[in-house]
Amino acid sequence: MSTTFQLDTATSRANPTPAPMKRLTVPKVMQRKKDGTTEEPLVMLTAYTARMAQLLDAHCDILLVGDSLGQVIYGLPSTLPVTLDMMVAHGAAVVRGSYQSLVVIDMPFGSYEASPQQAFASASRIMAETGAAAVKLEGGVAMAETVRFLSQRGIPVMGHVGLTPQAVNALGGYMARGRSEAEEARIVEDGKAVADAGAFAVVVEGVVEDIAITLTRELAVPTIGIGGSAQCDGQVLVAEDMLGMFERTPRFVKRYNDLARIISDTAGEFAAEVRSRSFPGEAQVYKAK
């Protein structure tokens, strides 16, 4: 038995609760791909808060604390301004709110690119202060040495190739990658480089489908697609995109609900009752006796 924190949904408070920890581990994620195929695809969604982690945990194999929180939570124009402090704070909250999913935390822009030593300092802080099991970093051939350095020192690394949002300025935007033969070859080389360097899985984002299929077939570790292919070994989406929290969503997103409308309608109902003084009612006020 391990003591963790579980949200009390009746009070919205976190209380220490003894609970058996049955988290999926990095080796078990890797073992899901046998002889080049994954019978049951891996399910990964982003989570940034303890409550969202609690709701998603039972349905996911992996929870990703993505630097996409910059746009989703903070309203920033890109992931570039996200700080290590932000990732640590949200990562710790997601670990507290989950019991079974493997928690992976994005390393933010500027926290790992300078050197493997810089990356180790950032990654070790993330893991020590959050309790997460792994980190994720963007980049291919250029980051292979860093992936190897971290992996050899006990820090599991998830790779990320193809459309890499932290390189949006160099790429010129968020359009799909791999439309030319040269770029296709480069992305495949990137995927192989980080896998060979020790990455336990590789996110393949925003690429022409053939590239995702090629990487899935040729890498011994699982590929996780986002705008890749249904043939990838798993899939990931930003949870808020999947839930329909935003009016505009990327092409590769399927909106499974319209939470934005539900929230807006509910807030409108509350506002109308407040203005008409029908809330609070008898059931929501305290009497002397």
Tokens of 161: 């190739």
Residues carrying an active site annotation: 205
Q: Is 8 annotated as a binding residue?
A: no
- Sequence-ordered list of residues with C-beta below 8 angstroms from that of 68, at least 6 positions apart, any chain: 46, 79, 106, 165, 238
User: 190 vs 31, 103, 112, 184, CA distance in Å?
Assistant: 22, 24, 17, 10
Backbone angles phi, psi at 85, to 5 degrees: -60, -40
CB-based contact 56:239 (threshold 8 Å): yes
Q: Is 138 annotated as a binding residue?
A: yes
Tokens of 17: 């609760």
Residue (of 44, 47, 43, 92) closest to 68 by Cα position: 47
Q: Is 67 annotated as a binding residue?
A: yes
CB-based contact 213:231 (threshold 8 Å): yes
Q: Is 106 annotated as a binding residue?
A: yes
Give the angle 240-113-96 at the CA atoms, nearest 5°.
Answer: 40
Q: Which residues does the annotation place in the binding site for Mg(2+)?
A: 67, 106, 138
Which residue ranges are tagged as binding site? Answer: 67-68, 106, 136, 138
Q: Which amino acids are annotated as binding site for 3-methyl-2-oxobutanoate, given as ranges?
A: 67-68, 106, 136
